[in-house]
Chain A
Amino acid sequence: MSQTVKTEQDQPIGKTFSFMFVFKRYPIIPALCLLPVIICGIFGPLFYPHDPTMMNLGSALKPPAFLPGGEFSYFLGTDHMGRDLLSRLIEGARISLLISVFGVLLSGLIGCSLGMLAGYMGGKADEVIMRVVDAQMSIPAILLTILLAAALGVGVTTIIVAISVVFWTGYARVIRGETVSLKQREFVVLAKVTGCSKARILIRHIFPNLISTITVLATLQLGRAILIEASITFLGVGLQPPDTAWGLMISEGRMYMATAWWIPTFAGLAIMATVLGSNLMGDWLRDKFDPKLRQL
Chain B
Amino acid sequence: MAPVLEIKSLVKHFLFVTDGVILRKYKMLKAVDGVSFSVDKGACFGIAGESGSGKTTISRLILLLEKITSGKILYEGKDISKLARKDILWYRMRVQTIFQDAASSLNPRMRVRDIVSEPLEVQLGKTLTKKEIMERTEEMIRLVGLPTDKLANYPHELSGGQKQRVAIAKAVILHPALVILDEPVSALDVSIRAQILNLLSDIQAQQDLTYLIIAHDLAMLQHVTTDIGVMYLGKIVETGKTENVFNEPLHPYTKALFAAVPWPVPGRVKKAPSLKGEIGNPLDPPSGCRFHQRCEYAKRICREAEPLLVETRPGHSVACHKINEPLWRAS
Interface members, chain B 133-162 (any A CB < 8 Å)? none
Is the Cβ of B104 less than 8 Å from the Cβ of A186? yes
Q: Is B207 an interface residue (CB 8 A)?
A: no
B123 neighbours in A (Cβ, 8 Å): 194-195
Q: How many angstroms from the CA of A197 to the CA of B89 in the assembled complex?
A: 10
Contact of B107 among A192, A193, A208, A211 (CB under 8 A): A208
Is the Cβ of A186 less than 8 Å from the Cβ of B99? yes
Q: How far is the CB of A84 from chain B (nearest CB, A)?
A: 48
Is the Cβ of B63 less than 8 Å from the Cβ of A193? yes
Contact of A193 among B96, B101, B110 (CB under 8 A): B96
Q: How many angstroms from the CA of A290 to the CA of B300 in the assembled complex?
A: 57
Q: How many angstroms from the CA of A178 to the CA of B99 in the assembled complex?
A: 22
Q: How far is the CB of A117 from chain B (nearest CB, A)?
A: 20
Is the Cβ of B119 less than 8 Å from the Cβ of A194? yes
A18 neighbours in B (Cβ, 8 Å): none
Q: Is A209 an interface residue (CB 8 A)?
A: yes
Q: Is A296 an interface residue (CB 8 A)?
A: no
Chain A contact residue count (CB 8 A cutoff): 18
Interface members, chain A 190-248 (any B CB < 8 Å)? 190-197, 200, 204-205, 208-209, 211
Q: How many angstroms from the CA of A204 to the CA of B89 in the assembled complex?
A: 18
Is the Cβ of B107 less than 8 Å from the Cβ of A187? yes
Interface members, chain A 150-202 (any B CB < 8 Å)? 185-187, 189-197, 200
Contact of B92 among A185, A195, A200, A211 (CB under 8 A): A195
Q: How many angstroms from the CA of A194 to the CA of B110 in the assembled complex?
A: 16
Is the Cβ of A186 less than 8 Å from the Cβ of B105? yes
Is the Cβ of B118 less than 8 Å from the Cβ of A191? yes
B88 neighbours in A (Cβ, 8 Å): 195
Q: Is B65 an interface residue (CB 8 A)?
A: yes
Is the Cβ of B99 less than 8 Å from the Cβ of A195? no
Chain B contact residue count (CB 8 A cutoff): 23
Q: How many angstroms from the CA of A57 to the CA of B215 in the assembled complex?
A: 86
Is the Cβ of A205 less than 8 Å from the Cβ of B107? yes
Is the Cβ of A196 less than 8 Å from the Cβ of B122? yes
Say yes or no: A193-B65 contact (C-beta < 8 A), given A186-B105, A187-B106. Answer: yes
Interface members, chain B 96-126 (any A CB < 8 Å)? 96-97, 99, 101, 104-110, 118-119, 122-123
Which chain A residue has the least Cβ–Cβ distance from B105? Answer: A186
Say yes or no: A195-B122 contact (C-beta < 8 A), given A186-B101, A187-B104. Answer: yes
A197 neighbours in B (Cβ, 8 Å): 122
Say yes or no: A209-B97 contact (C-beta < 8 A), given A186-B104, A194-B122. Answer: no
Q: How many angstroms from the CA of A200 to the CA of B122 in the assembled complex?
A: 9
Which chain A residue has the least Cβ–Cβ distance from B108? Answer: A209
B106 neighbours in A (Cβ, 8 Å): 187
Q: How many angstroms from the CA of A191 to the CA of B109 in the assembled complex?
A: 14
Is the Cβ of B97 less than 8 Å from the Cβ of A190? yes
Is the Cβ of A195 less than 8 Å from the Cβ of B89? yes
Most interface-central of A186, A196, A205, A208 (chain B CB within 10 A): A186
Say yes or no: A190-B105 contact (C-beta < 8 A), given A195-B123, A208-B110. Answer: yes
Q: How far is the CB of A180 from chain B (nearest CB, A)?
A: 16
A196 neighbours in B (Cβ, 8 Å): 118, 122
List 17 interface pairs A-B (beta carbons < 8 Å), by A numbering: A186-B101, A187-B106, A189-B65, A189-B99, A190-B97, A190-B105, A193-B63, A193-B65, A194-B92, A194-B118, A195-B92, A200-B122, A205-B110, A208-B107, A209-B107, A209-B109, A211-B109
Q: Which 6 A-B pairs have the closest CB atoms?
A: A195-B92, A208-B109, A186-B105, A187-B107, A194-B119, A186-B104
Contacts A190-B105, A204-B107, A204-B118 aside, 13 further interface pairs with beta carbons under 8 A come to A187-B106, A187-B108, A191-B107, A193-B96, A194-B122, A194-B170, A195-B88, A195-B123, A196-B118, A205-B110, A208-B107, A209-B108, A209-B109
Contact surface of A with B, Cβ cutoff 8 Å: 185-187, 189-197, 200, 204-205, 208-209, 211
